[in-house]
Structure 1
Amino acid sequence: MTTTVLIPTCLIPRNVSWPLLQPLSILSKPQNAAFLSYSHHHNHHKNKLIPCSISEFDLSPPPIDHDFLDTVKSSGAEVSGDGIIETFHNDDEALNAVHNGVAVVDLSHFGRIRVSGEDRVPFLHNQSTANFECLQAGQGCDTVFVTPTARTIDIAHAWVMKNAITLVVSPETCGPIIEMLNKYIFFADKVEIQDISKQTSLFVLVGPKSNQVMENLNLGDLVGKPYGTHQHFNVDKQPVTIGVGNILSEDGFSLLMSPAAAPSVWEAILTEGAIPMGFNAWNKLRVIRGRPAPGMELTKEFNVLEAYLWNSISLNKGCYKGQETISRLITYQGIKQRLWGLHLSAAAEPGSIITVDGKKVGKLTSYTSGMKQSEHYGLGYIKKQAASEGDTVIVGDNISGTLVQFPFLSQQRPPSSTTTS
Structure 2
Amino acid sequence: MTAQPRAPRRTPLDSVHRALGATMTDFAGWEMPLRYGSEREEHQAVRTAAGLFDLSHMGEITLTGPGAGAALDHALTGHLSALAVGRARYTVICGDEGGILDDLIVYRLGEQEFMVVANAANAQVVLDELTARAGGFDAAVRDDRDARALIAVQGPRSARVLAALTDAGLDGLKYYAGLPGTVAGRPALIARTGYTGEDGFELFTAPEDAEPLWRALTEAGAADGLVPCGLSCRDTLRLEAGMPLYGHELTAGTTPFDAGLGRVVRFGKPGGFVGRAALEAAARRAEDGLPRRLVGLVAAGRRVPRAGYPVVTADGSVIGQVTSGAPSPTLGRPIAMAYVDAAYAEPGTPGVAVDIRGSREPYEVVALPFYRRER
The amino acid across from 2:313 in the alignment is V
**Deviation for aligned residue 1:171:** 0.9
Does 2:17 correspond to 1:72?
yes
**Deviation for aligned residue 1:184:** 2.1
The residue aligned with 2:253 is 301
Cα 1:404–1:98 change in 2 (3 A) is farther
Aligned partner of residue 245 in structure 2, secondary structure: coil
The residue aligned with 1:105 is 53
Cα 1:113–1:320 change in 2 (3 A) is same
Report if the CA contact (8 A) 1:214-1:223 is conserved.
Answer: no
The amino acid across from 1:389 in the alignment is P
The amino acid across from 1:75 in the alignment is L
Cα 1:150–1:271 change in 2 (3 A) is same
Cα 1:72–1:357 change in 2 (3 A) is closer
Deviations 1:264-319 (A, max 9, x none): 22122222322110112212222222221121111133211121224533353243
Q: 1:323 aligns with which of 266, 276, 283?
A: 276
Aligned partner of residue 84 in structure 1, secondary structure: strand
Calculate percent identity across the aligned residue pairs. Answer: 21
Report if the CA contact (8 A) 1:350-1:365 is conserved.
Answer: yes
Map 1:21-420; keep pairs closer than 5 Å: 68-80=13-25, 82-162=30-110, 163-186=112-135, 188-219=136-167, 221-223=169-171, 225-234=173-182, 239-249=187-197, 251-273=199-221, 274-318=226-270, 319-331=272-284, 333-334=287-288, 335-344=290-299, 345=301, 346-358=303-315, 359-371=317-329, 375-392=333-350, 393-396=352-355, 397-407=359-369
Cα 1:95–1:237 change in 2 (3 A) is closer
The amino acid across from 2:214 in the alignment is W
Report if the CA contact (8 A) 2:166-2:183 is conserved.
Answer: no
Distance in structure 2 (CA, Å) of the matches to 1:213 and 1:391: 43
Q: Where in structure 1 are there 5+ consecutive unaligned residues?
A: 1-64, 412-421
Deviations 1:107-149 (A, max 9, x none): 1112111122221101111111211121121111111111222
Report if the CA contact (8 A) 2:155-2:198 is conserved.
Answer: no
Cα 1:214–1:234 change in 2 (3 A) is closer
Deviations 1:372-405 (A, max 9, x none): 8962121111222323123342111402222223
Higher gyration radius (CA): 1
Distance in structure 2 (CA, Å) of the matches to 1:407 and 1:98: 17
Distance in structure 2 (CA, Å) of the matches to 1:190 and 1:237: 36
**Deviation for aligned residue 1:263:** 1.4
Aligned partner of residue 340 in structure 1, secondary structure: strand
Q: Where in structure 2 are there 5+ consecutive unaligned residues?
A: 1-9
Report if the CA contact (8 A) 1:111-1:171 is conserved.
Answer: yes
Report if the CA contact (8 A) 2:99-2:255 is conserved.
Answer: yes
Distance in structure 1 (CA, Å) of the matches to 2:219 and 2:295: 38
Cα 1:377–1:237 change in 2 (3 A) is same
Distance in structure 1 (CA, Å) of the matches to 2:72 and 2:144: 17
**Deviation for aligned residue 1:160:** 0.5
Cα 1:224–1:404 change in 2 (3 A) is farther
Report if the CA contact (8 A) 1:365-1:379 is conserved.
Answer: yes
**Deviation for aligned residue 1:331:** 4.0
Distance in structure 2 (CA, Å) of the matches to 1:262 and 1:357: 52
**Deviation for aligned residue 1:194:** 2.3
Distance in structure 1 (CA, Å) of the matches to 2:74 and 2:193: 24
Report if the CA contact (8 A) 1:129-1:320 is conserved.
Answer: yes
Cα 1:209–1:106 change in 2 (3 A) is same
Distance in structure 2 (CA, Å) of the matches to 1:203 and 1:375: 30
Distance in structure 2 (CA, Å) of the matches to 1:249 and 1:236: 26
Distance in structure 2 (CA, Å) of the matches to 1:299 and 1:238: 37
Cα 1:117–1:373 change in 2 (3 A) is closer
Cα 1:369–1:402 change in 2 (3 A) is same
Distance in structure 2 (CA, Å) of the matches to 1:394 and 1:231: 47
